[in-house]
Structures are given as structure tokens and as C-alpha cells.
């Protein structure tokens, strides 16, 4: 990344900004030196213009949000007239807000009527009972779930107070509560209210528009209204679609234009000027710097001067970061992207993740059948996803993980668990059903390799700056290897004669480690060894997966008819497949984020955001990342 300074005639500032925006390569920043230079202020007329532009942006953003879609902008020749844009954006926003308010009112009305729907059936029972509803007061009540005892107490209380002069009917609702309709003579209404209050029973109030109706009229009118509401909501939706069809593309064009204009205005505020010249500064990837020089030279000749700002002038600034990886590794930026960006000049962990994450995943899942299923799902997801989206990256990560799962499934001889062994597949490295200790040894060995690699990467990263700490990181990596080899010698995995020299070498390296890392280095070394042991989860999760697959296979014939066992076995395999995808993902992410990244990763970088033309898709992506 390079910091550049652009200088040119003041009258060319607007044209230069427009060309820089077209190129989309420079992230503009405040200049480092402003002596003899003044910020480019806005005149009162320009400030009024900016307020007008911001008002249009607010209106058009609100209108498009209410539309619920972002159509492609219309391609109309000529510049957009801001008064016309303000008129279109403001009118569409008002119309769409009115429609949204109407829709909300209708949906609230429907929700309210639906709360009374259980009472409709109760009212029908009252009508069938022959009860005369003239002079009757009706209460609409809600009884909590499992309220039979409370219902019995209520009946007893009302019978004691009113005798037989009441009707209490209940109807179960979809929520599990009971809707009750209580009918009493109007003269006993006050007494019924008091009894309900003492019992703490919730009573629903009728909607205002039905308050004056009789009981029968209320029910019938609410039913009729409920039938009409879908048509009214459909009318509102048709009107919204009409506006989207007639004005959607215009709104998208207005949004892109005014946001570009607003970005240009904000960019001008970063410029500093003299009476005759302007100065702009910004960040640009070093690889595309020649393109900027060539394009600005083609447009402005020798009127514009571009020079590099020395690192001494910006050494304390936050340099924006661009992750640049080969196409094969690029999907794995979705994994490292869940962490804060690394500081400029430090290590991008994406290549390491691209190598180790799918390999660890394959070691854990390790089944040709499950790997094939994951590969098919990932291919379908890739076909249905759009390029340069998170979904596309996830699908490509899934394909890589499925390939490693198939490879290790072949090495384990596993096809849907031990089904592979039954049809003649034989394990090449070991049988995971039985070889717990070899599997554990493999997991710990992978942990040693991963952790030592992280320490070495950290040592290389620190070597340019703090050589003492770089030495400490290197010594820590060496001591992890020495301790691992000494333990192998102690357990007869290496010749016993190696044990003493390895221990002596480790003890000799300890003072150098303390010099490099400080007096807390031994504690940190113990913590690092604990990190290595965390990789035992590879064995634990992998063994659990294969054992669940074995159990699924043994269900066949264990539940009476064979077809019942096959059904249960397939269901268990499906559950195991889902667990076999998500569980390794979570554990492998933890091993990378906590154990591996902790050895070298330096977060704190800022996202590279060049000054370019506004795009709805890029804006939505930036909002999701935030």
C-alpha cells in the first residue's frame, strides 16, 4: 500500500475528483501537512446545495427501503436534474409511507380480530343453547394454559353469586390458552366485573369500531371484516408493485446519482488549497499505482503531479488493508473475515486457513459417503449462489472440505461408517472404531505442527522489529518440538537413548526463552503445550462421528421388520451427517482462532475503501460486514 499526494490547479479539482471516482483506486484521507494550505470550505450557497442533496438521499433511501427491492437504475442520457429528482423521491416516499401505514393498520386490525376468533365458536354455542341475548352483557376472557382448576373455581364463584343467571363457555385457542365467553344479565355486569377482578382473569376489550354493536352483530361484523381484509391488503400490494414498476428504476438511478454526488462533496472536504492549487492525499495499492499515473496523465497531461508520501510522514497512521490471495485461497477469506482485519504489514492467515481448515475437517468427518453428500450439497449451493458473495465462498469451502472428507474416508476405509468394511473396504492407516490411541497421536502431532508453525510465523513477523521477541518465539517453537520428541522417547516411540540429550537441550534452551519472552515465558510455554493438547478434540469429535454411523447401521433389523430398521438407520445417518458438518466446523474454527492465530495474528487493520461510484450491492455488503 502506498500513500500518494496529488497536486494540481485549483480550477481542476472538481474534474480530478470525478476522474479519481471513475477509476475507484484511491482511498482519500486528510493531508498530513497543512502548513500554508487551507481546507476547502463551502460557501453558504454550496451548503444549501449539500443540505438539498442529503434530503434527496434520505428520501430515496427511505422509498427504496419501503419498496423492499433495489431495481437496476435506468440508463438515461444526460445529467439528472436535482429539482426533478427531489420531486420524484419525495413524492414516492410519501406515497409508499402512506401505503405502509395502511398496511400496518390493516395487519394490526387482522391480528386483533384473530385474537377474538376462538370466541366465535363459543358464541355459536350460546346461540345454539337458545339463550336470549337481549339485555345480556358479554365478557371476552383468556384463561392460561392448564387452567381447568381455575375454570372450576370461577364457575363455582359465579354460581354462588349469580345462581344460574350466567353462561360460561370455553374454546381452546392455537396458543394453548382457552378463550372463554361469559354472558350475564346486564344488571349483574358490575358484580361480574368485580368477581373477574378478584380472580385476576384477563378480559379483552372489543376493538373501537365494534364497541357499539350488539353481541351478535359484533361477531358477524368481525367475521365479515376478517374476510375483506386480504383483498384490501392485496390492493395495497398491487399499488406498491405499480409504484415499483413505474418509478423503481428511476429511484435506483436517483439513489446512485445523488450518492455519487454526496461522495464527491465529502471528498472535496478532504482537499486543502492555496489560492491557485489543490492538494489531495490518499492510499492506493502499490500494484495499481502505475494505472493511476497513466489514466490521470491521459486525462490532464502534466497539469497533475502525483508523488509518494514518505513513510516517515504517515508512520503513525492506520494504513488500510487489502487481502490479496490466489483464487484457490480466496474463498477462505470468509473465515478470516470473521476476525478483525490484520494490521498492515503483518501476516494474512488466509493461506494457512485454506490449507489446514479443510484438512482438519476431512480428518474429523473422514467418510466417503458423508463427504459425497457434502460435496453434492456444496455444488448445488455454488450453482445457486452469485459470484463474489459469502454464499459462493461458503459453497467453495464446502467443496474443499468434502474432498478431504472423501480422501480420509478412503484412508479409514469408511463409507457411511462401517458399511465400507462390510463391502470390502479396508483401512489404509487405521480403523477409527478401534485405534483410539493412534488417532489421538495423529491429532496431537497435527497440533504440534500447527502450533509450531504459528510460533515460527510469529517469529518471522517480529524479526524486522523486535528481534529479542522474535528469538523468544523461535525458542518456544524449538522447545515444543524438543518436549514432544522427549515424550516420544519416553514412551518408546523413539530410541530411549535420545531421551536424555533431548531433555538437556530443552533445559539449555530455557534461559534463552526467558531472555526473549521475559520471566513469564515458562508459564506461556505451559499454556502453549495446553494449546497442543486442545487438538485432541480432532480425535474426540471424529470418533464420536464414526461411532454414531456404526450405531445407525446396526439399527437395521433391530426394530422388527427390516424396513423399519432401514428407516431408523437412514434417519440416524441424516442426523449424524448434520452433526458431522457443523460440529467439526465449530471446533476447527476454534483451533484456528484461539490456538493458531494467537501465536502471530495482529488485529487492528482498517478496511480499504476507495473513492468510487456508489453501488447498492457493495453498500449492502459493507453494512453486513459492520
- The secondary structure of 19-61 as a DSSP string is HHHHHT--EEE--S--TT-EE----HHHHHHHHHHHHHHHHHH
Does the residue 285 lie in any domain?
yes
Residues 364 and 309 occupy one common structural domain = no
Residues 195 and 161 occupy one common structural domain = yes
pTM of the model: 0.72
DSSP string, 139-156: EEEEE-TT-HHHHHHHHH
Residues 221 and 353 occupy one common structural domain = no
What is the rounded end-to-end Cα distance, in angstroms, of the chain? 23
Does the residue 500 lie in any domain?
yes
For residue 137, the SS3 value is: strand
- How many H helices and E strands in the chain? 20, 12
Q: How many angstroms separate the CA atoms of 69 and 96, rounded?
A: 13
Does the residue 322 lie in any domain?
no
What is residue 236's predicted lDDT score, i.e. its pLDDT?
A: 92
Does the residue 321 lie in any domain?
no
CB 133 within 8 A of CB 214: yes
3-state helix, strand, coil in the chain (%, to 5): 65, 10, 25
Dihedral angle sign, alpha carbons of residues 607, 608, 614, 620: negative
Q: How many angstroms separate the CA atoms of 577 and 352, rounded?
A: 26
Residues 412 and 298 occupy one common structural domain = no
What is residue 397's predicted lDDT score, i.e. its pLDDT?
A: 95
Q: How many angstroms separate the CA atoms of 185 and 298, rounded?
A: 93
Residues 351 and 460 occupy one common structural domain = yes
**Cell numbers describing residue 259:** 450518492
Q: Which residues of the chain have a pLDDT value below 50?
A: 77-78, 130, 623-626
What is residue 623's predicted lDDT score, i.e. its pLDDT?
A: 47
**Cell numbers describing residue 63:** 422509498
Residues 175 and 118 occupy one common structural domain = yes
Q: How many angstroms separate the CA atoms of 101 and 312, rounded?
A: 58
Last residue of a domain, one of 227, 259, 289: 227
**Cell numbers describing residue 580:** 458431522
Q: How many angstroms separate the CA atoms of 140 and 202, rounded?
A: 9
Residues 360 and 482 occupy one common structural domain = yes
Does the residue 192 lie in any domain?
yes
Does the residue 97 lie in any domain?
no
Q: How many angstroms separate the CA atoms of 560 and 234, rounded?
A: 53
Residues 402 and 518 occupy one common structural domain = yes
What is residue 592's predicted lDDT score, i.e. its pLDDT?
A: 92
What is residue 246's predicted lDDT score, i.e. its pLDDT?
A: 85
Residues 484 and 593 occupy one common structural domain = yes
What is residue 624's predicted lDDT score, i.e. its pLDDT?
A: 46
Mean per-residue pLDDT of the chain: 83
**How many domains does the chain divide into?**
3
Residues 457 and 603 occupy one common structural domain = yes
The rounded radius of gyration (Å) of the Cα atoms in the chain is 36
Does the residue 435 lie in any domain?
yes
Q: How many angstroms separate the CA atoms of 350 and 335, rounded?
A: 8
Q: How many angstroms separate the CA atoms of 180 and 172, rounded?
A: 9
**How many Cβ atoms sit within 10 Å of the Cβ of residue 337?**
14
What is residue 605's predicted lDDT score, i.e. its pLDDT?
A: 81
DSSP string, 552-615: HHHTTTSSSSHHHHHHHHHHHHHHHHHHHHHHHHHHHHHIIIIIIGGGT--B--EE--------
Region class of 178: left (phi > 0), else alpha (psi between -120 and 50), else beta: beta
Last residue of a domain, one of 251, 283, 314: 314
DSSP string, 275-336: SSEEEEEEEE-GGGHHHHHHHHHHHHGGG-EEEEPPHHHHTTSPPEE-----TTTGGGHHHH
Does the residue 232 lie in any domain?
no
What is residue 626's predicted lDDT score, i.e. its pLDDT?
A: 45
Last residue of a domain, one of 227, 254, 270: 227
Residues 422 and 525 occupy one common structural domain = yes
Supply the CATH number for residue 164's domain.
3.30.70.2750
CB 428 within 8 A of CB 408: no
* Domain span holding position 160: 107-227
Residue 137 phi, psi dihedral angles, 5° rounding: -105, 135
Residues 274 and 349 occupy one common structural domain = no
Amino acid at each position: 500500500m502506498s500513500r500518494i499526494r496529488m497536486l494540481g490547479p485549483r480550477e481542476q479539482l472538481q474534474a480530478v475528483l470525478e476522474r479519481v471516482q471513475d477509476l475507484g483506486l484511491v482511498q482519500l484521507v486528510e493531508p498530513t501537512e497543512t502548513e500554508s494550505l487551507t481546507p476547502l470550505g463551502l460557501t453558504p450557497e454550496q451548503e444549501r446545495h449539500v443540505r438539498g442533496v442529503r434530503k434527496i438521499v434520505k428520501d430515496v433511501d427511505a422509498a427504496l427501503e419501503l419498496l423492499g427491492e433495489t431495481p437496476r437504475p435506468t440508463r438515461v442520457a444526460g445529467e439528472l436534474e436535482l429539482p426533478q429528482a427531489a420531486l420524484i423521491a419525495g413524492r414516492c416516499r410519501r406515497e409508499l409511507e402512506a401505503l405502509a401505514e395502511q398496511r400496518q393498520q390493516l395487519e394490526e386490525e387482522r391480528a386483533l380480530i384473530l385474537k377474538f376468533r376462538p370466541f366465535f365458536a363459543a358464541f355459536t354455542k350460546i346461540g345454539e343453547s337458545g339463550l336470549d341475548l337481549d339485555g345480556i352483557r358479554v365478557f371476552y376472557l383468556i384463561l392460561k394454559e392448564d387452567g381447568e382448576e381455575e375454570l372450576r373455581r370461577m364457575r363455582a364463584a359465579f354460581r354462588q353469586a349469580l345462581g344460574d343467571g350466567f353462561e360460561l363457555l370455553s374454546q381452546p385457542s392455537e396458543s394453548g390458552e382457552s378463550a372463554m365467553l361469559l354472558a350475564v344479565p346486564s344488571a349483574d355486569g358490575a358484580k361480574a366485573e368485580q368477581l373477574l377482578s378478584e380472580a385476576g382473569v384477563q378480559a379483552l376489550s372489543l376493538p373501537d369500531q365494534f364497541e357499539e354493536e350488539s353481541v351478535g352483530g359484533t361477531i358477524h361484523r368481525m367475521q365479515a371484516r376478517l374476510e375483506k381484509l386480504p383483498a384490501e391488503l392485496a390492493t395495497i400490494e398491487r399499488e406498491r408493485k405499480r409504484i415499483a414498476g413505474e418509478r423503481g428504476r428511476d429511484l435506483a438511478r436517483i439513489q446512485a446519482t445523488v450518492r455519487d454526488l454526496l461522495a464527491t462533496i465529502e471528498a472535496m472536504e478532504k482537499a486543502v488549497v492555496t489560492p491557485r492549487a489543490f492538494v489531495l492525499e490518499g492510499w492506493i495499492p502499490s500494484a495499481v499505482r502505475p494505472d493511476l499515473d497513466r489514466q490521470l496523465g491521459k486525462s490532464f497531461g502534466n497539469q497533475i503531479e502525483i508523488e509518494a508520501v514518505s513513510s516517515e510522514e504517515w508512520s503513525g497512521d492506520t494504513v488500510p488493508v487489502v487481502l490479496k490471495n490466489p483464487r484457490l485461497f480466496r474463498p477462505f477469506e470468509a473465515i478470516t473475515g470473521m476476525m478483525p482485519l490484520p494490521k498492515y504489514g503483518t501476516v494474512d492467515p488466509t493461506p494457512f486457513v485454506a490449507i489446514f481448515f479443510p484438512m482438519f475437517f476431512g480428518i474429523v468427518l473422514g467418510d466417503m459417503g458423508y463427504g459425497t453428500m457434502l460435496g453434492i450439497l456444496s455444488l448445488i449451493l455454488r450453482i445457486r449462489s452469485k459470484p463474489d458473495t459469502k454464499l459462493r465462498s461458503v459453497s467453495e469451502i464446502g467443496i474443499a472440505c468434502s474432498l478431504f472428507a472423501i480422501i480420509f474416508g478412503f484412508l479409514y476405509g469408511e463409507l457411511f461408517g462401517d458399511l465400507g468394511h462390510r463391502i470390502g473396504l479396508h483401512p489404509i492407516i487405521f480403523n477409527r472404531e478401534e485405534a483410539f490411541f493412534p488417532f489421538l497421536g495423529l491429532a496431537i502431532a497435527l497440533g504440534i505442527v500447527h502450533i509450531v508453525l504459528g510460533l515460527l510465523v510469529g517469529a518471522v513477523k517480529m524479526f524486522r522489529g523486535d528481534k529479542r521477541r522474535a528469538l523468544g518465539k523461535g525458542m518456544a517453537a524449538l522447545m515444543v518440538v524438543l518436549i514432544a520428541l522427549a515424550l516420544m522417547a519416553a514412551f518408546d516411540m523413539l530410541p530411549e537413548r535420545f531421551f536424555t540429550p533431548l531433555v538437556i537441550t530443552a533445559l539449555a534452551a530455557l534461559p534463552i526463552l526467558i531472555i526473549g519472552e521475559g520471566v513469564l515465558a515458562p508459564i506461556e510455554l505451559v499454556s502453549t503445550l495446553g494449546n497442543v493438547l486442545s487438538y485432541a478434540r480432532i480425535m474426540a469429535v471424529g470418533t464420536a462421528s464414526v461411532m454414531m454411523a456404526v450405531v445407525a447401521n446396526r439399527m437395521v433389523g433391530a426394530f422388527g421388520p427390516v424396513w423399519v430398521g432401514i428407516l431408523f438407520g437412514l434417519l440416524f445417518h441424516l442426523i449424524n451427517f448434520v452433526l458431522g458438518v457443523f460440529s467439526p466446523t465449530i471446533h476447527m474454527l476454534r483451533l484456528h482462532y484461539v490456538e493458531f492465530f494467537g501465536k502471530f495474528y495482529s488485529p487492528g487493520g482498517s478496511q480499504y475503501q476507495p473513492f468510487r461510484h456508489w453501488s447498492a450491492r457493495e453498500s449492502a455488503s459493507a453494512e453486513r460486514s459492520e
